[in-house]
């Protein structure tokens, strides 16, 4: 909600001057501190408002809103952040449709809305999420170490079979993602959850143990911490 207000008013120009002294990339690296993540998002939003052709600020704004909408903000504010992320990513896609960043981050924000805010959101974004991720695969299947395959694996896991979900396709996409990043904590966790649905408990246990033992990626340390905790909780239920 705060981002929409910034974009809709002259405050964007004021933020551009007042926050430019803080490097948003540095601020975002400290995203586990809520104020740092918010300031990074505000800087990128102000830059995008000042220059709608700034595709880099667009996708980085979308990425920051995804973090705020899934980890940083109080629950009551998360939906607005994710919607702001979709709007920012859409601007980036309009400017640079042949780059994967906007397509991936619009899918990520849509996915978080679909997963966390009820059936209506899920039905609204279900097809668009898959379409955007398939675009990423066409443009650059190695983008973010196979992130599109990982997200598609999650899509096939989460979506009911009646609407296109398929646990075997989920496993196939997740294993493709692991080919790009064998030590991905999140991919190992997602694969374990899919394998449990396929009634392969021993395989799932091995994936969870691998997720917990995997080294943290310096770029994705906060995310690795969150998903390693989830892996520990799930593994405890299988012992």
HEC-encoded secondary structure of 46-75: HHHHHCCCCHHHHHHHHHHHHHHHHHHCCH
pLDDT at 115: 86
Mean pLDDT value of segment 24-31: 97
Residues 118 and 63 in one domain: yes
pLDDT digits over 72-105, tens only?
A: 799 999 999 999 999 999 999 999 999 999 999 9
The helix (H) or strand (E) run that includes residue 155 is: helix 147-158
Residue 28 lies in a domain: yes
Residue 164 lies in a domain: no
Rounded to the nearest integer, the mean pLDDT of the chain is: 91
pLDDT above 50 (res 20) = no
Q: Residue 16 contacts by C-beta under 8 Å, 6 or more apart in sequence?
A: 43, 46, 47, 49, 50
Residue 187 lies in a domain: yes
- What residues contact residue 125 under an 8 Å CB cut-off, 6+ apart? 110, 111, 113, 114
- Please tell me the predicted confidence (pLDDT) of residue 119: 67
Question: What would the mean pLDDT of 126-135 be, rounded to a whole number?
Answer: 96
pLDDT higher than 60, residue 107: yes
122 or 63, greater pLDDT: 63
Is it the case that residue 19 has pLDDT exceeding 70?
no
CA proximity to 78, closest of 106, 118, 113, 104: 113
- Shared domain check, 41 and 119: yes
Do residues 80 and 26 share a domain? yes
Q: Confidence class of residue 239 from pLDDT cuts 50, 70 and 90?
A: confident
Mean pLDDT along residues 199-212: 98
Do 125 and 197 lie in one domain? The reply is no
Q: What is the pLDDT of residues 35-69, one digit of tens each?
A: 999 999 999 999 999 999 999 999 999 999 999 99
User: How many angstroms separate the CA atoms of 218 and 42, rounded?
Assistant: 24
Name which of 71, 9, 121 is nearest 229 in CA terms: 71
From residue 210, how far is each of 78, 122, 152 by CA, in Å?
Answer: 31, 31, 21
Find the angle CA(153)-CA(183)-CA(198) to the nearest 5 degrees: 40
Residue 145 forms part of a structural domain: no
Residue 224 sits in which domain range? 170-239
Q: What does the chain come to in residues?
A: 239
pTM: 0.88
Q: Let me know if residue 65 belongs to a domain.
A: yes
Domain-embedded: residue 150: no
Q: Which of 122, 140, 158 finishes a domain?
A: 140
The count of domains in the chain is 2
In a domain, 161, yes or no: no
User: What are phi and psi for residue 22, nearest 5 degrees?
Assistant: -95, 115
Sign, CA dihedral 110-226-223-182, equals negative
On whether both 27 and 125 belong to a single domain, the answer is yes
Host H or E run for residue 138: helix 118-139
Asked whether residue 131 falls in the same domain as residue 210, the answer is: no
Q: Which two tokens stand for residue 60?
A: 């980085």
Residue 229, by phi and psi: left (phi above 0), alpha (psi -120 to 50) or beta? alpha
Q: What's 49's domain CATH number?
A: 1.25.40.10
Give percent of the chain with pLDDT exceeding 70.
90
Instruction: List, for residues 140-188, the tens digit of each pLDDT value.
Output: 999 999 999 999 999 999 999 999 999 999 999 999 999 999 999 999 9
Please check whether residue 159 lies inside any domain of the structure.
Answer: no
- Supply the pLDDT for residue 48: 97
Question: If pLDDT is split at 50, 70 and 90, which confidence band does 118 have?
Answer: confident
């Amino acid at each position: 909600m705060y981002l929409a207000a910034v974009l809709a008013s002259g405050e964007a120009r004021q933020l551009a001057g007042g926050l430019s002294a803080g490097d948003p990339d540095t601020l975002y690296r400290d995203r586990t501190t809520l104020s740092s993540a918010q300031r990074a998002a505000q800087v990128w939003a102000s830059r995008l408002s000042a220059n709608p052709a700034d595709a880099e600020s667009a996708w980085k704004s979308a990425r920051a809103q995804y973090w705020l909408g899934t980890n940083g903000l109080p629950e009551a504010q998360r939906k607005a952040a994710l919607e702001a992320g979709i709007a920012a990513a859409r601007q980036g896609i309009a400017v640079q449709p042949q780059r994967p960043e906007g397509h991936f981050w619009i899918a990520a924000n849509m996915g978080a809305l679909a997963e966390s805010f009820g059936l209506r959101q899920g039905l609204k974004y279900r097809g668009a999420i898959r379409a955007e991720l398939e675009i990423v695969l066409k443009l650059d299947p190695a983008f973010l170490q196979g992130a599109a395959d990982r997200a598609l694996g999650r899509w096939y896991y989460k979506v009911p079979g009646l609407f296109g979900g398929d646990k075997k396709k989920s496993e196939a996409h997740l294993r493709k993602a692991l080919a790009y990043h064998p030590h991905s904590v999140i991919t190992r966790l997602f694969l374990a959850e899919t394998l449990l649905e396929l009634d392969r408990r021993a395989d799932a246990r091995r994936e969870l143990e691998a997720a917990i033992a995997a080294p943290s990626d310096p770029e994705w340390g906060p995310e690795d911490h969150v998903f390693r905790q989830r892996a520990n909780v799930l593994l405890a239920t299988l012992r």
